[in-house]
Amino acid sequence: MASYEVGDWVKPINTFVLLGRPGSGKSQTGNTVTGCDKAFEFGFHAKRTPKKCESKQTEICETELCVIDTPGVTFFEKQDYEDILSNMPKEGPSKIIFLLCISIGRLTEEELSLINQYFAIFGDDFAENTIIIFTHLDEWESDMNDCNVENPKFDSYLHTLPEQTKTMFRRFHNRYLPLNNKQKKG
């Protein structure tokens, strides 16, 4: 006789966890993903952005979605992971997808070091469950236009990256998405 688990009937809630350096565009990406300008506080405020994770649950195309915004840190530690876990949906199973936000053009040693810390905390599977989101696409395109490059192709930016960075991105199977968070939401 076939055996069934409760999980066979319960659809997992897709959970996006926003990661990245301070100011990399995590909160704005959360707003883009949820389609709501005010889901997460964003911007260069005089006051500090929240020190703890914040989560919003919504439904998109009849699918339950939970989005967890994390505070910008330059060093990611176990307690940051625990904070994420405490914001996971309480009801039913969850499928975690990390959205690793990187502001185009600002890739530094610190950025790579932070990514290595994610691997240390989340394990080798981190890359399997991650999409790299390159934010500020509009600013990059505008800069390229100022340099007389019409219709710039984002892939050309990736070709200019140092070998060390390209090697790192290969671990993510080059799963990336350039994003303009300033584009008006429909």
Using CB under 6 A as the binding rule, whether residue 22 contacts ligand GTP is answered as yes
Min dist. Cβ of residue 183 to ligand GTP (A):
8
Q: Is residue 15 a contact point for ligand GTP (CB under 6 A)?
A: no
Residue 20 interacting with ligand GTP (CB under 6 A): yes
Stretch binding Mg ion (CB under 5 A), from 24-32, 111-119, 146-154, 163-171: 24-32
The size of the interface with ligand GTP (CB under 6 A), counted in residues, is 23
- Regarding 180 and contact with ligand GTP (CB under 6 A), the answer is yes
- Paired with 54 in beta bridges are 69
Give the per-residue SS3 of the chain. Answer: CCCCCHHHCCCCEEEEEEEECCCCCHHHHHHHHHCCCCCCCCCCCCCCCCCCCEEEEEEECCEEEEEEECCCCCCCCHHHHHHHHHCCCCCCCEEEEEEEEEECCCCCHHHHHHHHHHHHHHCHHHHHHEEEEEECHHHHHHHHHHCCCCCCCHHHHHHCCCHHHHHHHHCCCCCEEECCCCCCCC
- Rule CB under 6 A: which of 104-143 touch ligand GTP? 135-139
Please give the Cα distance from 77 to 63 (Å, whole number).
31
Interface region with ligand GTP, contact rule CB under 6 A, candidates 9-17, 40-48, 55-63, 79-87:
40-48
Of ligand GTP, Mg ion, none, which one sits near residue 23, judging by CB under 5 to 8 A according to partner kind? ligand GTP
What binding mask, one character per residue, do residues 53-72 give for ligand GTP by CB under 6 A, x or -? ------------------xx
Q: Of the two residues 65 and 178, which places its CB atom closer to ligand GTP in the complex?
A: 178
Residues forming contacts to ligand GTP in the complex (CB under 6 A) are 20, 22-28, 42-44, 49, 71-72, 135-139, 179-182
